[in-house]
Structures are given as structure tokens and as C-alpha cells.
Amino acid sequence: MKANKIKKKISGGGEVDIYSSSKCKRVSFALVRMNGERYPEEGFAVNRDQVEGVMVIEGEFTFNIDGKEFKCKSGDVVYFEEGKKYFVNGTGKAVVAISPAKGGKTEILNE
């Protein structure tokens, strides 16, 4: 089955293409492009009921997950579970696997 593509802007100026299918409930994918911005612009994001695995495919990103910093370059993978506070900044492209595919809620906390 072929996935549907939804193109979105993210806070801070980056872009994301989300690929999902109404028939596949377990996982969706996203291609994220960032040009030095931070997501979210302030505070932290929290996925309340989804897990994410991120593979950097181009450039460099810094992830802050629950206060721990991870510097990643092309080929590196970072994973975070639901309920973890995070922000990311960097320049490049990353592929994100998101599970479950639908129904997740990402909350922005301005702490």
C-alpha cells in the first residue's frame, strides 16, 4: 500500500512531510527538514502517547531529551518514549518513525 503525504510547517521555520496510511495503524514516517531553527521555539515538546525514532540522514542535530543532550550526525539514531520532554535544533534532514501512527498528541510546555 502507498502512503499519503501531508506537508506541514513546524514552529521555528522547518518543514515536515508526514507519510501515513489509513490501513496501517502501527507506524507512520516523517521527513523533517531544519535550517538551524529550534523545535519547539521555546520550552519543550512532549509526545503523550507516541514513541519516536529519529535517524539523521543529512547534517547535524542536537536533541535534548529529559535534560540529556545528544549530538547527532548523518547515520546516528535517537529514540524517545512517550512522556519524555524534548527539544531539537540543527540543520539538515532526518527520518522519523512514529508509533502508533495515528491519534498521538504532542504538547508544548513553556517551562
**What is the per-residue pLDDT for 23?**
77
Q: The domain spanning residue 29 has which CATH number?
A: 2.60.120.10
**What is the per-residue pLDDT for 12?**
67
- pLDDT tens digits for range 65-106: 999 999 999 999 999 999 999 999 999 999 999 999 876 778
In the chain, the amino acid numbered 27 is V
In the chain, the amino acid numbered 22 is S
Q: Within its chain, how far is the Cα of 50 from the centroid?
A: 11
Q: What's the total number of domains in the chain?
A: 1
Domain range spanning residue 77? Answer: 4-109
Whole-number Å distance between alpha carbons of 107 and 4? 24
Choice between 11 and 85, residue whose per-residue pLDDT is larger: 85
Assigned C-alpha cell, 2: 502507498
Looking at the chain, the whole-number percentage of residues with pLDDT higher than 70 is: 96
- pLDDT tens digits for range 22-40: 777 888 899 999 999 999 9
